[in-house]
Each structure stands twice: as C-alpha cells, then as structure tokens.
Structure 1
Amino acid sequence: MVEDNVIDVDTMLWHVGDFGKYQCILMVLFSVINILSAFHYFGQTFIGVVPDYKCKLLLDEDPRYLEAGTCSYKIYQNESVQEIPCSNGWNYRNSYGYVSIVEELNWVCDDDWKPALGQSVFFIGSVIGTLVFGILADNIGRLHVLVAANMFAFVGNIATYFATNVEVFAVCRFVAGCATDANFVMMYIIVMEYIRPSMRTFGLNLCIGVFYCLACMVVPWVAVLLQNWKFLLIVISVPHLLVLFFYLLVPESAQWLISKGRTKDAIHHFQWIARVNGKNVSSKHFEALERYYFQHVSPTTTNESFLGLLRTPKLRRKTLILIFKSMVLTLCYDAISRNVNGAGYSPFLVFTITSATILPACLFILLVQDRVGRKALASGALFLSGIFTASSAIVQVFLPTPSATLIVVLAIIARLGINVAYNSGHQYAVELIPTVVRGQGVAVIHVLGYAASFFSPQILYLANIWKPAPEVILGVLLVLGAVACLFLPETLNRTLPVTLQDGEDFGEDEKIFEFACCRAPTESTTELTTGNMRTYM
C-alpha cells in the first residue's frame, strides 16, 4: 500500500471515489457532448445535401420537342438539335421533401462549387480551431476551452441561418468548423482523467458507442422531420448553450491544475468529488497530495509546449509514431467511408446504415480493449482492416467478374476494422501524451491527421486510372500503421505520464511484441508518476 505522504492524482482519485456517483454524472454529461458533437459535425452534411434536379421548362413550350437535362435542355426542330443552358431555374426532386441550401439558393450547375467550398472551409476551420484551442487548453484549462468551442459551434451555425451568398456562408462555416474536435476532445480528456484507469474503456466507449452512434443515425431524420436546412441549423445549434451550465458540474482537469502549480484548486475539486461520492477523506491525504507535487512537479514543467515532445529521443519517437498513426487513421477512415457510399439510394438512408457500424465497433472495444490492451487492439484492428481492404483489390485484379456482394462485404468488414482503430485511437493518444502538453499534443496530432485526409479524394480518384488502386494504397497504409503501433508502449492499467520526463521514460522496458494480454497473471504492473516509480503487486 502507498504511504500517506506519497499520494499522486490516481491515488487521490481512489480515495475520493474513482467510479461512483460523480463519475456517472460525468458520463451522462459526456453523452450529451457526444450527441451535440455528432449533430454539429454531420449537420454540415445535410444542410448542403444535393438533390436530383433538371432544367425547368416554361409552360408555353411544347414538351414533345424538348428534353430537359441537369444544366441545359435540348430543342429538337427540323431534324436539328439545339442545346440551351437552363434559364428558367430547376425542378428539384429531393429526398423526403427536405429542402437544403443547395435547392433554396440554386447552387447547382455553374454554382455547384459553392456548397463544396462551404464544406472545405468548415474543415479548414476545424484544423485551425483544433490547433488554437489545443494551445489554449494547456494555458487556460480544458473546461474553458470546452465551453468556448461549443459557443463557436452555436454562433457559427446560427449565423449560417442568415447566409444568402457564398461569402457569408463560407465565413459562417469557418466559425462553426473551428469548434470541431475541441468541442468533443476536451470533455473526453476531463472524463478520462476522473475515471478509474481500468474503467476508462468501459465508460468512454459506452457513451460513444451508444450516444454518438444514436445521434449519427438520428440526425438525417431530424432533417427530414424539419423539412428545411434553416430549421435544422436552429435545432442542432441551440442545445450547445447547455454547455454553459457545465461550469456548475464539470471539474477542471486535476492533472492540468497541478501541472500549473494550482494544487489547492485540484484539492478543492477532489473534495467536491468526495462529497458527491459519499466518501470521508482525511485532510492528511489532501496535505500529502500537496506535499508530493510540491516536491516532484518542477516549475519548469508549467510552461512546456508541444515542441517539448520532440526534444528528447524516446519521447520524440513515440510522438512521431502517434502522428503517423493519426494520419493513417484519419485518411483511411475518410476514404473507406467514401468508398462504400450507396449511390442511387437516399443519402439519408445510406448515412443511417453506415453510421450503424459505430455501435458494434465501440462494443467490440468495450469488450476487448481492457483484455488485450491498447497496443494489441490498435495494431490488430489496423492490420485486419488493411488485409480486408487489400483483399478487395486482389478480388478485382484476379477475378474477371468480381462479385459485387463480395466486394461490399469486404469493404464493410474493413470499415468496422477502421472504426475500431479510429475510436480506440483517441484514448491511446490521450494516455500517451504527458499531462503538461496533453492539450497541445493531442491537438497537433489531430490537426496533422485532418491535414492528411485532404488526400482522400485524390486517392479515390485513382480508381479512374486503375480500379483497385485506392484499395491497394489504403491497404498498404493500414498495414504500415499496424506495424508502427508495435513500437508504442502499453498504457493499460498504468498511471499516465505527467511531465515530459515521465513521457520519455514511459514503457521503455517493453519489447515490440509485448502485449498486455500476454503478461503472466502474477506480473506486477509498474506505474510511472512524476519523478517516481512504484510497484503494485
């Protein structure tokens, strides 16, 4: 047992309750964030959905001599054909009667680039917002950034309601995009730090698997119910105001507070958690926490930046692997998602079916990750996804007439695999980045992942040159990502690194093919704390 004068954050959390009533409250609030994030992110898809359309013909024109196309119509006269650009507008055939901004503002034909521009600017905003909010998170705290990001989502979406031209639309989508990722990840970090390490996978993936998946499946039908993109924006925007009340219920990250020398504030949060969980904690435990971090947290750690992750060789290696893994995950996730779209079907129905794969992926993580460990799951999921993706290419190359059903089945299995890798990858990265730069580190890793996703359309376009090319490239990248994960340390049931030196030393005694599931039951788990090693039997 750890002596009272040597108490770190995880030990303190055990004293005040690491999976009690308060953690249940945090999980409920994290579920709310999952719903808000899904509606915000995928609402972008449905405000600009493109319906089927054709040129509108005048009533006094004889339809027997006319043929309407999408951007022009043909006139047949005296055995000659004349093609004339649409001048009377368009007739739209929208799914379930839903009117998007494309139909309302006639952003088709010569203006069909406008909704695409809005979506591109949205993702540019997400890259910049993730980076800026990540830096702010390590300076002003996770909770302030969580609230600020959700307010950006509210303002950006509400402002889009009033957009009547592409310039205003683009600016509004940029503001809304700035919220993306930070509006979710900051709550993820806070909840993860206040839950028992052995229950993190259960708590986090239960919320994501159920509520994020449910929100993704529901958002297209909310659009259908409301029938108009403006009403959809209001419905997905106003609930973000609820996050303002999180100041009353959600604590700031204790690890962050301590890394900034604000140990008394961290103790205040622990006392609050103890009261909610019905725990009577002796004041000597809080004094021991304050003494311990006064001795072990160096003042120089309070002003670290992301560059600190690249300063020392071992931590630099881990950081570069995490960056490469993030780029592979984001790029392949986006490309595989696009590659199994259901052309010819309603986009609302296709989106719902595709989103349904999130739940089984999260359930699989929930059942497996705390048994096999982070490294084995990350590497295994990437490898299997890569094999099934590459198998689709092999089928297309060696079978003269490949079965469409077989290709779809392979693609769906690959999608499930990448879902598992993608959803578990967030937790793995958060656990490996030291607390003092966790906000910046996670932000930069995510930003570089988003940047890599810009190549997704180009990879898919290669199918026009050689049909199996996308599957070959994606399969190779996924397998390389799986191999890279083998060089990362396991984090299962380990105290997370706080300082950069902790991150440098973390897991350096592990072998490449050493997995948590292969450890002997009697093997001790070494936990790294700030400047101190201890062993639990």
Structure 2
Amino acid sequence: MRDYEEVTAFLGEWGRFQRLVFFLLSASIVPNGFNGLSIVFLAGTPEHRCAVPRGANLSGEWRNASIPLELQGGRAAPSRCRRYRLAALANFSALGLRPGSDVELGSLEQEPCLDGWEYSRDVYRSTIVTEWNLVCDNDWKGPLCTSLFFVGVLLGSFVSGQLSDKFGRKNVLFATLAMQTGFSFIQVFSTSWEMFSMFFVLVGMGQISNYVAAFVLGTEILGKSIRVLFCTLGVCIFYAFGYMLLPLFAYFIRDWRMLLLALTLPGLLCIPLWWVIPESPRWLISQGRFQEAEEIIRKAAKINGITAPDVILDPSELQDLNSQKQQTYTILDLMKTRNILTITIMSVILWMIISVGYFGLSLDTPNLHGDVYVNCFLSAVIEVPAYIISWLLLRNLPRRYSMAAALFLGGCVLLFIQLVPSRMESYSCTIYSTGDVREIWDHICLFNGLCLHG
C-alpha cells in the first residue's frame, strides 16, 4: 500500500490550502504567549511597607520613623514586613520626645504589619499580590500560584495526546482553546487567591493541550518540506508574538483584572477558525473514516486549484487500512525495547533541563535591573532570532551536534553572567537575554526526539 504522503502528493507542498492551514494554526497559538507568562505581571510584587493607620496618634516625625531600616541588596531600606510597636511610639509622641535624639530607635520593640501594607503604585496599580496581601508570611503564595499553573501544564501534557487520539485533533484543539479562554475569563472575577489558583491549574491544562493539538494537527496535514518550517517559524514565532504583546498590554493596563480580561478576549477570535481548519485526514484514516478524509483532501485540491484523481484511496488500500485500524499504541510502547527506552529517558531529561532553563529565565525578568516591561519585551523579542537559528540548524546540521552546541553555548552564557560586575546593569541584561539560546535547545531537542522515535 502507498503511504499517505504518496497518496496526497498531487496536492503539492505549498499551495493555498497548506498556507491557510499553516497561518491559521500558527495564529491560534498567539493566546498561549499571553497565558503562559502572564503571571509575571498578574503576580508582580511592588515595593511595600507596613501601613500606619491615621488614628495612631503619631506626630509626623514619629510616623516617618515608624518603619525600621534593614539591609536589602547591600543597602539600608525600610523594612517590608516589620514596624516599631505603635503603642510605644504613641507614648513617646505624647511626651514630646523625638526619634533618634531622645529615643534610640534600635532599642525599640518591633511588631509585624498588623494593619496591612502600603504598596507603591509606580509600576503596578494592582496585582494579585496587592489584592490579597501575598507578602511577608504569605509571600510563598505567589510562586505557588505559578507552580500550580505548571501542574496544569503537566496534567494537560499527559492527557492531551490521548484525548486527541480518541476524539480527533481538531475537536481537542478547539475544546482546549475554549477551556483556556473560558477559565481565564472566570479568573477575572476571582474573590480569593485560592479561587484564582484553582482556575489557573485549568488554564494551564488548556494552554498546553491546545498547543500540542495544533502542533500535531499541522505536522499531520502539512508535507515533509514544510513541517520543520511550521514547527519553528510557524507556531513558535506566533507564540513569541503573543509573548511580545504581553508587556505591551501590561504597560498600558496596570490593573490585574482588566489586564487578564484584555489577555483573555483575543481567544474569542479563534472561534471562526472552526469552520476553516480541517480535521487531520491521517487521523480520520486511522479511525476508518475514509470518506471524510477523502472529502478533506478533495477540498484541499479545490482550494489549490488542482484537479484531484477520480480515486484517491482505492478499495484495496481501504481494505489494508481497515486491517491496520485495530493497531493502537500507548505510552508503554516508548519502553518496549532497550534502544527506544534509552532515547525516551534522554529526551525526558533534556526536556526537563530545557524547560527549567526557559521558564526560569522568562519568569525571572521582574527581578532584573531596569524596567520590568522592557526586560520582558526583550526576552520575547530575542526568541525570534533564536527560532530562525534553530530552523537553519535543523535544516543543515545533524540534530545531536546542534543540540549539544546550543546547550553548551547557553550554559556558558549563563555562567559568564556571574562574572559581570553588578554596576554594569544593562550589559548584564543583554547577556541574560542572550541566554534565550534556550529556544534553540527547545526545538532541536523536539525534532531530535521526533526523528529518533519515528
């Protein structure tokens, strides 16, 4: 029997149908660039200090001295989590004593921020941190919220492939797009950190699931010569476009609820794609739905302006395919032989290392010197040349050599940044952004795994 590539060779590689599928599937990835790293701004932590209530009966001098100083980054700064005991300060103020001259501040008793916090509005108007006071003793909740998103990504990674094998690539793609958009919209109305985090898990599940479904759908529809282009300069660059738009949205919308709403609404633009993006003919054939597969192929030929053969899948081929239909695969097949098990373990380890590097660098942009919005935008922009380089490497060089070189270069850059003096802030940020050679690791590792696993 001829394989699918041979049967559909008459369609060509880069006709109007293929270009349509290429760009529409790539465009469906843009919202993933929003959701994947939106927590950088949604959970931004502004400068803060203990609130001192108006009714504390303190003079202006004692009010200004009510926050102790502590070392932060090698310099003295007002404490974020402690204040001097207000009852004692009020007594000193009533007696007419002055801080520093009449009373030694270092000897005073301190207390936690019993009346909440005052937050700087210079960078953020509001975030989930300022909304629910995720600072000091509760400062672990912000990072945990990020971790819970990736718990959802982990769960989605396990189930998305199985679901798309059972229900179809297109159905899972649009169901998980709806899941990502719908639960992200519900997050806007969160009344507590717990509610926000619970829905963030579901957003993470939808985010990775629709990414995987779009990725697989594109590789199954497009021809051999276009797949590498689709997987690097297609879905990945459109993801980077979404990532680039994130700091632009965040710069003009400083309130976290309105920002999340603005990042959610573009997902509705994917609804019309349901009537344009087709199901994978390969998947339909694997399910024995040959007539539906042939209809899609004929429609593709019509869009490309090509006359399709009278018979695309002949009866003898259908019989062979029917006999193969019952053959199914599970994750256990990746452990069937020693060779494939070794490749699987190596791929998993490499993906873990690359993912830690990628998200560790991306989520750390608020902690860099300089403007958080500029740093995030630069982190996104640098991904574009990284994708182009990975595309060129995948086309022209062996996968394992390219991957080893990219990993070595990325590691050297991240080690080298430790030698840059702290006063050279802009230079440090430039080298830090160059660490986005992580993108090259990402895609070479992906294609190395695909090729080795066949």
TM-score band, normalised by shorter chain: 0.7 to 0.9
Q: Is the 8 A contact 1:98 1:223 kept in 2?
A: no
Q: Give the corresponding residue for 2:375.
A: 350
Residue 382 of structure 2 aligns to which amino acid in structure 1? T
Distance 1:193 1:64 in 2: 71
Q: Is the 8 A contact 1:209 1:363 kept in 2?
A: no
Q: Give the corresponding residue for 2:346.
A: 321
Q: Is the 8 A contact 1:9 1:254 kept in 2?
A: no
Q: Is the 8 A contact 2:44 2:366 kept in 1?
A: no
Q: Give the corresponding residue for 1:371.
A: 396
1:294 equivalent to 2:319? Answer yes
Query: What's the offset of the Cα at 1:403?
Result: 8.3
Q: Is the 8 A contact 1:8 1:293 kept in 2?
A: no
Alpha carbons of structure 1 residues 35 and 337: separation in structure 2 relative to 1, 3 Å: closer
Q: Is the 8 A contact 1:55 1:88 kept in 2?
A: yes
Moved more, 331-340 or 108-117: 331-340
Root-mean-square deviation (CA, aligned residues, Å) is 3.0
Q: Give the corresponding residue for 1:62.
A: 59
TM-score (norm 1): 0.71
TM-score (norm 2): 0.83
Q: Is the 8 A contact 1:274 1:280 kept in 2?
A: yes
Partner of 1:205: helix, strand, or coil?
helix
Alpha carbons of structure 1 residues 308 and 297: separation in structure 2 relative to 1, 3 Å: farther
Alpha carbons of structure 1 residues 53 and 270: separation in structure 2 relative to 1, 3 Å: same
Given candidates 181, 186, 189, the residue that maps to 1:159 is 186
Query: What's the offset of the Cα at 1:146?
Result: 0.9
Query: What's the offset of the Cα at 1:322?
Result: 2.2
Alpha carbons of structure 1 residues 185 and 94: separation in structure 2 relative to 1, 3 Å: farther
Per-residue CA shift, 1:280-314, capped at 9, x if unaligned?
A: 11123x134x6336326754654321112222343
Q: What fraction of aligned residue pairs are identical, expressed as a percent?
A: 23
Distance 2:60 2:287 in 1: 74
Given candidates 13, 16, 21, the residue that maps to 2:16 is 21
Alpha carbons of structure 1 residues 241 and 408: separation in structure 2 relative to 1, 3 Å: closer
Q: Give the corresponding residue for 2:93.
A: none
Query: What's the offset of the Cα at 1:324?
Result: 2.5
Distance 2:207 2:259 in 1: 18
Q: Is the 8 A contact 1:333 1:419 kept in 2?
A: yes
Given candidates 86, 106, 111, the residue that maps to 2:113 is 86
Alpha carbons of structure 1 residues 24 and 95: separation in structure 2 relative to 1, 3 Å: farther
Alpha carbons of structure 1 residues 300 and 17: separation in structure 2 relative to 1, 3 Å: closer
Distance 2:252 2:423 in 1: 40
Partner of 2:405: helix, strand, or coil?
helix
1:11 equivalent to 2:6? Answer yes
Distance 1:377 1:327 in 2: 18
Partner of 1:179: helix, strand, or coil?
helix
Query: What's the offset of the Cα at 1:401?
Result: 11
Matches within 5 A, 1:237-276: 237-276=264-303
Q: Give the corresponding residue for 1:43.
A: 38
Distance 2:417 2:66 in 1: 40
Per-residue CA shift, 1:392-446, capped at 9, x if unaligned?
A: 67x69xxx99988887666544x232211113433444x44xxxxxxxxxxxxxx
Per-residue CA shift, 1:24-68, capped at 9, x if unaligned?
A: 212221232221110121223321111111222334522422243
Matches within 5 A, 1:395-406: none
Partner of 1:91: helix, strand, or coil?
strand
Q: Give the corresponding residue for 2:73.
A: none
Alpha carbons of structure 1 residues 106 and 237: separation in structure 2 relative to 1, 3 Å: same
Q: Give the corresponding residue for 1:474.
A: none
Residue 276 of structure 2 aligns to which amino acid in structure 1? L
Alpha carbons of structure 1 residues 239 and 405: separation in structure 2 relative to 1, 3 Å: closer
Q: Give the corresponding residue for 2:83.
A: 73
Distance 1:139 1:328 in 2: 31
Q: Give the corresponding residue for 1:142.
A: 169
1:306 equivalent to 2:316? Answer no
Q: Is the 8 A contact 2:284 2:292 kept in 1?
A: yes
Alpha carbons of structure 1 residues 208 and 187: separation in structure 2 relative to 1, 3 Å: closer
Alpha carbons of structure 1 residues 90 and 342: separation in structure 2 relative to 1, 3 Å: closer
* Structure 2, unaligned runs of 5 or more: 68-78, 90-98
Q: Is the 8 A contact 2:34 2:263 kept in 1?
A: yes
Q: Is the 8 A contact 1:47 1:100 kept in 2?
A: yes
Q: Give the corresponding residue for 2:442.
A: 422
Query: What's the offset of the Cα at 1:329?
Result: 1.8
Per-residue CA shift, 1:320-357, capped at 9, x if unaligned?
A: 33222222222333345567765343322221122221
Per-residue CA shift, 1:114-147, capped at 9, x if unaligned?
A: 3333222211111112212221111111111111
Q: Is the 8 A contact 2:288 2:321 kept in 1?
A: no
